[in-house]
Amino acid sequence: MAFVEKKLPADAPASAKALNWVDARFPLSKLWNEQWGKYYAPKNFNMWYLFGSLATLVLAIQIVTGIFLVMHYKPDANLAFASVEYIMRDVPWGWLVRYMHSTGASAFFIVVYLHMTRALMYGSYRKPRELIWLFGCAIFLALMGEAFFGYLLPWGQMSYWGAQVIVNLFSAIPFIGPDLSLWIRGDYVVSDATLNRFFSFHVIAIPLVLIGLVAAHLIALHEVGSNNPDGVEVKDYLGPDGHPLDSIPSHPYYTTKDLFGVSVFLLLFSAVVFFAPEMGGYFLEANNFIPADSLKTPPHIAPVWYFTPYYSILRATTSEFMYWLIAGVAAYVALLLVRSRLSGRSKLAAVVIGLAVIIGMLIFDAKFWGVVLMGASVLILAGLPWLDHSPARSLRYRPTWHKYVYVVFAIIFVVLGYLGVQPPTATRTLISQICAFIYFGFFLLMPWWSAAGSFKPVPTRVTFHPH
């Protein structure tokens, strides 16, 4: 293809000439128009659609503040804690950068959890957006890995012992567990080798993966188009210009709304950074302001709040709980045989897998199955596009009682998160076990309850009431 550069009037602004020069050599304007400027989105977006843009903003904040922190941080077991103190006390505005980064970590998970809530409410994971959802789940996993690896870097008491506990969990994996834990640590205990490994993953490896996944997530989104609160396809009704009748250009309409959302977010973010950066110990624990001591174990070790729902499921898996799990697996296999529309071969496979799981539960200890359930509690999210059999995407047109199912799930998730930061007791363990059953039941029983009840008529076009 021949090189073509647009002819501009001699009195054209310098900025237009510069942009024209770049566009002739790189598709800058084309990328902007395809991904945002002339990307047509449904016109009935509400406040729930702000969190995708906010997640991108927080990612940028984390990258920029992380770069400045790395300039002064020392990934050395003898110097790491002191270097963080140096950043806080002696580096000009270092305290602000550190608090922005630590608050940003929690803000990232808050925004992502709300973003995922919107997807649950409006069925944004349903066909044809399965790949968008899978990329989103991969982003969530990468984000959890990034947070975990970064958690060790301050080299405080909770960082050290939290990493010790989490890494030791891998030793519960049969046959390869001890060697896997040793490989992750790089030593027999959490040490300087562990710190260097975690530092390299936190600063280089996972951020590159995260940026690539975010790009793939956005490209996939703009390929099939955005969902909307009604859960109907706007591409089914096109105007004379080839654009959906019920859509509007993202710029300037959603640019201005996003800027308003960003302003509110930055106001709240700044309030936390300047007035409550520790957030009562949930964002920064008191024990993490004490240098790591391998000879002094804190009385209660718990991960940061955004990991605690899954950590509660891990702690809930006791030897006594295994019998209930076995009963649950047997009951679920029976349900598949009686109430599912699976083929005979699929039902046979379900029986074989169920028996294998039950035998495994009798052979391997509760610690191993706690790790399995903790991992499954995250990975099961990726199955939503195939578990949800509802005739309507959006919660707006589902039976009213479906809303209460989602509310119960949200409450259970919060309760698991709260119990994860509390010292374990018999009562709390029992509540965690009940909540764990409900958590997995929400997903595993979804093929039945999501299709049950009387559904409201779904409109063919979006419902929109301008202000």
Q: What is the CB neighbour count within 10 angstroms for residue 183?
A: 11
Beta bridge mates, 291:
156
337 Cβ contact partners less than 8 Å away, ≥ 6 residues apart:
347, 350, 351
**From the CB of residue 15, how many other CB atoms can be counted at a distance below 10 Å?**
8
How far, in Å, are 43, 118, 229, 249, 463 from residue 466 at the CA level?
Answer: 9, 21, 15, 16, 10
- CB atoms closer than 10 angstroms to residue 199: 20
Q: Determine if residue 389 is labeled as part of a ligand binding site.
A: no
> At residue 41, what are phi and psi to the nearest 5 degrees?
-120, 155
- Provide Rg for the chain, Cα atoms: 25
**How far from 32 is each of 35, 71, 218, CA to CA, in Å?**
5, 32, 13
Q: What are the start-end ranges of the H helices in 277-343?
A: 308-316, 319-339
Per the structure block, which two tokens stand in for 354?
């169920």
Q: What are the structure tokens assigned to 300, written together?
A: 């209660």
CB atoms near residue 286 (< 10 Å): 13
- Identify whether the C-beta of residue 72 lies closer than 8 Å to the C-beta of residue 88: no
Would you say 251 is a known binding-site residue?
Answer: no
Binding site annotation covers 465? no
The 3-state secondary structure of 77-121, one letter per residue: CCCHHHHHHHHHHCCCCHHHHHHHHHHHHHHHHHHHHHHHHHHHH
Residues annotated in the binding site, as ranges?
101, 115, 202, 217, 222
Residues annotated in the binding site for a ubiquinone, as ranges?
222
Residues annotated in the binding site for heme b, as ranges?
101, 115, 202, 217
